[in-house]
Structure formats: structure tokens, C-alpha cells
Amino acid sequence: MGVEVAFYSPVEVTFPFDERAVFEAPFTLERRELIEAVKEGLKPVKEKFETMVVCGMGGSSLGAKTINAFAGAFNETPRRLVFLDNLDPTFVRQTLEGLDWKRTAFCFVSKSGTTLETVVFLNLVLDGLKRRGLKPSEHLLFVGDRGKNFERMARALEAPFFEIPAEVDGRFSVLTSTGLVPAHFVDFDVDELWEGAKEALRPRGPESPALRLAQFKVDHYLAGRNVSVMFAYGNFVYTFAFWYSQLWAESLGKDGKGQTPLKALGTVDQHSLVQLFMDGPDDKVYQFVKVGEVHYDLTLPPEVLIHDYVAGKKVSEVFDALYAGTKEALLRKGRPLVELLIDRYSAFNLGYLFMLYMLATVAAAQVLGVNPFGQPGVELGKKLAKEKLSNP
């Protein structure tokens, strides 16, 4: 198995988890037809286009963005993904103007088909296609719930539609068409992704890494550690921390409860956050994530300037030493830490990570007594934005 989870302080599963509710949460891994529909539906898209622009917000984008970043370390494909996932006006304009529209497909992702930002992207793209004399039916794809706006839009435009099962919440949807469509477009192995996720479902009871992770984090939360740090060592695994942050924050931040996620990139943030981690308040629990395999490495020359002890060392050796030094320093300080060591970049290992954290999130929600699904706290802001736009 490619992911090793190590706890550096005692953890014993003692909370009365409802294991059935955790391990049978709606993750849809039994619905093999989702993968087959994606493979079949994308055949003409992959033949015709070299770029796919994924237009979606939050859970409609972060999973695919994580897949794309993780795959950057090992995956080879002639196609690429671009993400429209923020309404910053300059970013939107630069993204759209930087495309070869004839060679670009646009994938719109929203369970409801009403997400304001995604609707703005859709209308901009439709206008751009019209001005260029291009057919929407050939350039657009829609991903959403059946019976809602995007399925109706796809039917009206004669464009492909891919289903997100209605029972799957958006931030838990990475293993559905939300993640599968962009992943398959860039030849990421979606079958292997699912196999890794299934592997995370198999260990149950006190030895389940997912339940132990939930127990570990909730124990420290209840002890006053209100911040959950994910220290990702490596540019290609760092985006996973963004996906995790939404999952943990939106699922648990309810009824006055919740543990604030904080992202860190190694080794960069050793020079910005570690001072706080070491000598600041002991209000954090730490997750260190690192991939062992190195695809491309460089070796320093036998004679170097300034630091003689790095002469002849590989860049990976220096990187590993900095990782180990920071981890050991935090442990000596008595900080609670869990380490996730991934043997290599692969679709299997990423599927395992996705499922591990989805399970841990559902389990933690049980202990805290909150519903991990839905996000009622964001609705007021949406309502006020609509009022401002409707009554300028």
C-alpha cells in the first residue's frame, strides 16, 4: 500500500463511531457506470481539443485542480487543463484571452447549475463562442445534478452532460464526474483513482487509518487546538491542502464548532510560518504530507560556495533533511503531529488520500455532532449579493 499514516502521539479509537454511517456515506464508488459514461462521452472531445477550461467554484473545481497538480509530477499527456475558479476580473479576462478557442473545450461544473460565478463564466463563454463563429454544442460540456439547470442547458445546446449523483455533496464529489471528466481528459487513470479510494474503505474498526485520523484531530480540537495545519512538502502535492481545507472547514464549521485549516508549503513556509509553529501558541495540530519518489533530481557540484556540507549532495537530500529537521523540531517542542508518507505520485495514492480524508471528515462530524453535508453558513452572503445586483 502506497500511503503510510504515522501518529507521533498516542491515539486510540475510543469515540463510539457509527462505522456504517462513515464507511457507507454517499461516495458512489459502486456506480461503475459513472466512469464508463465519462470515457465514452469524452472520446470526441479528446480527439478534437487540446485544452479544457474547467469552470467551477469550490468543490466543483478543487478536486480536479488537485488531480491536475498531482499528475504534474508524473503524468504525460498532449492535453492540458485550465481553471476558471475565481471571479477576479483581470484573471477572468487574461484567462479567456489567452486561449486558442478553436482548440478549447469548456467544462461547466455545478450541482445546482445556479452557482453565480459559474453562470457568469458560462455567459462570457457563450458570448465569446458566438463572436468567433464557433458552435456551443461542439465546445461545451456540463457536469451537474440530473433534472437541474445544467442538464437542461446541455439538452438545449445539444452538448454533453455528465452526472453528479444527487446524494453526493459538492466537496465530496471529486470521485464523481466532477473530478473524473477533467482527469480523463488529461489521461489521468480514473480506474486506478477509484481503486485507491476503495483501498481506504477496507480497514475498519480501531485500526482504520481514517478513524484514527479523525480521533487524533478531534482529541486535540477538544483539548483546545483549534487550528489544523497541513504542511505539504512538495509543489505537486500542495494543492491537496487546498482541497482538504474546504472539506474540513465547510463540513465541520457549524453550530459554533469547527477547526480552522491552515495550509503550508515545504520548504517555503519554513521561512514564514515555522517560527509561529515553534514559539507561538500551542493551539495547532500538524499533518505533514510528503511523497518519497523523485522523478527528476539534480546533484550539486563537488565544490560549492558558502555551505561546504552540501557539496556533492542531491537536491532531494537537502529537501529531505529540511523536512526531517522541521518535523523533529516540532516533535521536540511537544507539538502533536501526524505524518502521511506517500511512496510515489500515482492515481491510486491520490484516490486513497481523497477517501482517507473524506472518511475522517464524516467521522469527526459524528463526534462533534454536526452534519458534514451542506453549507448553510454561506447562504446569507449569496442572498445579500443577489440583492445588491438586483437593486443597484
95: Cβ contacts below 8 Å, ≥ 6 apart: 53, 82, 84
271 is a catalytic site residue: yes
Q: What is the DSSP string of 240-281?
A: HHHHHHHHHHHHH--TT---EEEEEEETGGGGTTHHHHHHS-
Cα–Cα–Cα angle for 101, 63, 95, nearest 5°?
A: 25
User: Exactly one of 117, 151, 250, 339 is catalytic; which is it?
Assistant: 250
- Asked if 112 contacts 131 with a C-beta cutoff of 8 angstroms, the reply is no
Amino acid at 8: Y
Cis, bond preceding 51 (omega within 30 deg of 0): no
31: left (phi over 0), alpha (psi -120 to 50) or beta: beta
Q: What is the biggest distance separating any 2 CA atoms in the chain, rounded to whole angstroms?
A: 69
User: Exactly one of 47, 207, 271, 303 is catalytic; which is it?
Assistant: 271
The crossing angle, in degrees rounded to 10, of helices 177-185 and 62-71 is: 30
Ordered alpha helix ranges (H), 172-234: 177-185, 190-201, 209-222
C-alpha 373/C-alpha 361 separation (Å) is 10
167 is a catalytic site residue: no
User: Exactly one of 48, 102, 295, 382 is catalytic; which is it?
Assistant: 382
C-alpha 215/C-alpha 211 separation (Å) is 6
Amino acid at 5: V
Q: Which residues are tagged catalytic? A: 250, 271, 382
